[in-house]
Amino acid sequence: MDVERSQAKTDSLPVEHLPHPKNDPDSIEQDVLSKVSYTIGADPKALTTKQTYRGLAWTVRERLIDSFNKTQEYWKSKDPKFVYYLSAEFLMGRSLTNAVYNLGLEGEYGEAIRKLGYSLEDLQDQEQNASLGNGGLGRLAACFMDSIATTDLPGWGYGIRYKYGMFKQGLDKGFQSMAPDIWLSAGNPWEVYRPELAYRIGFYGEVKDGKWIPAESVNAVAYDNPIPGFGTNNVTNLRLFESQPVNEFNLDFFNEGNFDEATQEKRRAEDISAVLYPNDATDYGRELRLKQQVFFVSAAIQDVIARFKEQHSDFNELPNKAVFTMNDTHPTIAVAELMRLLIDQEGLDWDNAWAITTKTLAFTNHTVMPEALEKWPVKVMTKLLPRHMEIISKIDSIWKGSLADRVKAQIEAEPKAEAKAAASEESSLVPEDTEAGEDPVDAALAKYGIICENPWEKGVKLVNMAFMAVIGSKSTNGVAAIHSDIIKHTIFKDFYEIYPEKFQNKTNGVTPRRWLAYCNPGLRELITKTLGSNEWIKHLEKLSGLKQHAEDKELQAQWRAVKQENKQRLAKYIKANVGVDVPTNAMFDVQIKRIHEYKRQHLNMFSIINRYLEIKAASPEERKKFVPRVCVFGGKAASAYYMAKKMIRLVTAVGEVVNNDQEVGDLLKVVFLPDYNVSLAEVIIPAAELSHHISTAGTEGSGTSNMKFQMNGCLILGTMDGANVEIAQEIGKENMFVFGVDAEDVPRLREERKDFKDYDPRWVKVMDSLLAGQFGDAEYFQDLVDNVNDMTKSNDWFLLANDFADYLRAQKDVDELYKDQDEWTRRSILYTASSGFFSSDRCIDDYAREIWEVEPVAVPSS
Active site residues: 366, 593-594, 599, 704, 708
* Residues 68, 102: Cα–Cα separation, whole Å: 13
Between 137 and 650, CB nearer to ligand F58 = 137
Q: Give the DSSP letter of residue 861.
A: P
If one asks whether residue 373 binds ligand F58 (CB under 6 A), the answer comes out as no
Whether residue 469 contacts residue 375, with contact meaning beta carbons closer than 8 Å, is answered with no
* Residues 602, 569: Cα–Cα separation, whole Å: 27
DSSP 396-427: HHHHHHHHHHHHHHHHHHSTT--HHHHHHSTT
If one asks whether residue 135 binds ligand F58 (CB under 6 A), the answer comes out as yes
Between 91 and 810, CB nearer to ligand F58 = 91
Taking residues 136 to 165 in sequence order and writing x for each that binds ligand F58 by CB under 6 A, - otherwise, the string is: xx--x-------------------------
Taking residues 686 to 705 in sequence order and writing x for each that binds ligand F58 by CB under 6 A, - otherwise, the string is: --------------xxxxx-
Q: Which of residues 184-213 bind ligand F58 (CB under 6 A)?
A: none
Q: Which of 35, 61, 161, 366 binds ligand F58 (CB under 6 A)?
A: 366
Q: How many residues does the chain have?
A: 862
Q: Which of residues 277-316 bind ligand F58 (CB under 6 A)?
A: 279
- Please state, as a whole number, how many other Cβ atoms lie within 10 Å of the Cβ of residue 669: 24
CB of 495 to ligand F58, least distance (A): 20
Choose the stretch contacting ligand F58; rule: CB under 6 A; options: 5-13, 129-137, 159-167, 419-427.
129-137
* Residues 397, 384: Cα–Cα separation, whole Å: 21
Between 386 and 701, CB nearer to ligand F58 = 701
Amino acid letter at 761?
P
Between 334 and 664, CB nearer to ligand F58 = 334
Between 634 and 703, CB nearer to ligand F58 = 703
If one asks whether residue 639 binds ligand F58 (CB under 6 A), the answer comes out as no
φ, ψ at 568 (rounded to 5°): -65, -40
CB of 264 to ligand F58, least distance (A): 29
CB of 603 to ligand F58, least distance (A): 17
If one asks whether residue 134 binds ligand F58 (CB under 6 A), the answer comes out as yes
Between 396 and 700, CB nearer to ligand F58 = 700
CB of 543 to ligand F58, least distance (A): 21
Between 81 and 330, CB nearer to ligand F58 = 330
Dihedral-angle region of residue 861 (phi above 0 means left; psi in -120 to 50 means alpha; beta otherwise): beta
Three-state helix/strand/coil letters over 121-172: HHHHCCCCCEEECCCHHHHHHHHHHHHHHHCCCCEEEEEECCCCEEEEEEEE
Tell me the sheet residues that pair with 839.
510
* Residues 160, 144: Cα–Cα separation, whole Å: 17
Non-local CB neighbours of 426 within 8 Å, separated by 6+ positions: none
* Residues 32, 123: Cα–Cα separation, whole Å: 13
CB of 487 to ligand F58, least distance (A): 12
Whether residue 687 contacts residue 566, with contact meaning beta carbons closer than 8 Å, is answered with yes
Rounded (10°) CA dihedral 376, 379, 385, 388: 70
Between 186 and 372, CB nearer to ligand F58 = 372
Q: Which of 367, 511, 601, 832 binds ligand F58 (CB under 6 A)?
A: 367
CB of 91 to ligand F58, least distance (A): 9
Beta strands in 678-725 (DSSP E): 690-693, 715-718
CB of 828 to ligand F58, least distance (A): 23
Q: Which of residues 503-542 bind ligand F58 (CB under 6 A)?
A: 508
Between 273 and 556, CB nearer to ligand F58 = 273
The angle that helices 821-833 and 724-731 make with each other, rounded to 10 degrees, is 110
Please give the order of strands across the beta sheet that includes 690-693. 668-672, 629-634, 587-592, 690-693, 715-718, 737-738
CB of 509 to ligand F58, least distance (A): 10
Between 343 and 465, CB nearer to ligand F58 = 465
φ, ψ at 91 (rounded to 5°): -95, 85
Amino acid letter at 596?
H
Q: Which of 178, 184, 197, 372 binds ligand F58 (CB under 6 A)?
A: 372
Strands 235-245 and 155-160: parallel
* Residues 848, 862: Cα–Cα separation, whole Å: 27
Q: Give the DSSP letter of residue 282.
A: -
Choose the stretch contacting ligand F58; rule: CB under 6 A; options: 128-136, 383-391, 448-456, 801-809.
128-136
If one asks whether residue 371 binds ligand F58 (CB under 6 A), the answer comes out as yes
Between 235 and 638, CB nearer to ligand F58 = 638
Nearest Cα residue to 335 out of 282, 376, 281: 376
CB of 329 to ligand F58, least distance (A): 8
Choose the stretch contacting ligand F58; rule: CB under 6 A; options: 131-139, 469-477, 497-505, 771-779.
131-139
CB of 704 to ligand F58, least distance (A): 5
Helices (H), 273-370: 283-311, 318-321, 334-340, 350-360
If one asks whether residue 365 binds ligand F58 (CB under 6 A), the answer comes out as no
CB of 280 to ligand F58, least distance (A): 8
CB of 700 to ligand F58, least distance (A): 5
How buried is residue 545: exposed, middle or buried, by Cβ count under 10 Å (0-12/13-18/19+)? middle
Q: Which of 469, 479, 684, 690 binds ligand F58 (CB under 6 A)?
A: 479
* Residues 349, 335: Cα–Cα separation, whole Å: 15
Non-local CB neighbours of 495 within 8 Å, separated by 6+ positions: 448, 467, 470, 471, 476, 502, 503
Choose the stretch contacting ligand F58; rule: CB under 6 A; options: 1-9, 366-374, 433-441, 449-457.
366-374
How many residues make contact with ligand F58 (CB under 6 A)? 18
Between 133 and 440, CB nearer to ligand F58 = 133
Whether residue 312 contacts residue 321, with contact meaning beta carbons closer than 8 Å, is answered with yes
CB of 837 to ligand F58, least distance (A): 15
Choose the stretch contacting ligand F58; rule: CB under 6 A; options: 133-141, 159-167, 407-415, 615-623.
133-141
Dihedral-angle region of residue 729 (phi above 0 means left; psi in -120 to 50 means alpha; beta otherwise): alpha
Between 298 and 695, CB nearer to ligand F58 = 695
Whether residue 799 contacts residue 741, with contact meaning beta carbons closer than 8 Å, is answered with yes
Non-local CB neighbours of 399 within 8 Å, separated by 6+ positions: 449, 450, 471
Q: Which of residues 717-776 bind ligand F58 (CB under 6 A)?
A: 722
If one asks whether residue 829 binds ligand F58 (CB under 6 A), the answer comes out as no
Interface with ligand F58 (CB under 6 A): 134-137, 140, 279, 366-367, 371-372, 479, 508, 700-704, 722
